[in-house]
Amino acid sequence: MTDDPLRALIRTIADFPKPGIQFRDITTVLRDAEGLQMAIARMQAAVEAHDISMIAGIEARGFIFGAALASRMGLGFVPIRKKDKLPGRTIGMNYALEYGQDRIEIHDDAIGAGDRIALVDDLIATGGTAIAATQLLRSAGGIVPVAVFLVDLPDLGGADRLRAEKLDVRSLVAFEGH
């Protein structure tokens, strides 16, 4: 049992997507109006000291939290998409997977030089996608001082890897294990 009502809303599903994994299901936060509002309010509190001018969210659940946060703060939103999902001209960043690589992209005019961007996603695990997103935003001229996640899996080291990239990393809830 937990005293944190937000943590209590996150459901754990054993052995998904494969045996040994404890999947942290955030759809239970999304379906709870008070829980969703609480998550967005806590995310705002985590980023507002950084003088942010835009919010960027990583596909797919980062879109949900990032767009809601941008709307709450009166800011624009930049979707960071998987390769070949955006129309028009894009810039991208490759990143390593366990067996191969993947690519994320933004429109080439999505941000301006000097925009201060908060990176948002639902969960930080190993940090590979979040690091690539940070590098992509910075390569486009953005300043990325902070990243915020609903859930951190600290045993996988992603938040520490992001801190090594000079980000203030915030998470609302942490779960041990994977």
What are the residue numbers of the active site?
A: 61, 98
Q: What CA–CA distance (Å, rounded) separates 49 from 30?
A: 26
Q: What CA–CA distance (Å, rounded) separates 75 from 72?
A: 8
Backbone Cα Rg of the chain: 16
Bridge partner list, 97: 100
Q: What CA–CA distance (Å, rounded) separates 101 from 93?
A: 10
User: What are the angstrom distances between the C-alpha of 35 and each of 5, 41, 70, 118?
Assistant: 8, 10, 17, 21
Q: What CA–CA distance (Å, rounded) separates 7 from 174?
A: 8
Q: What CA–CA distance (Å, rounded) separates 33 from 39?
A: 10
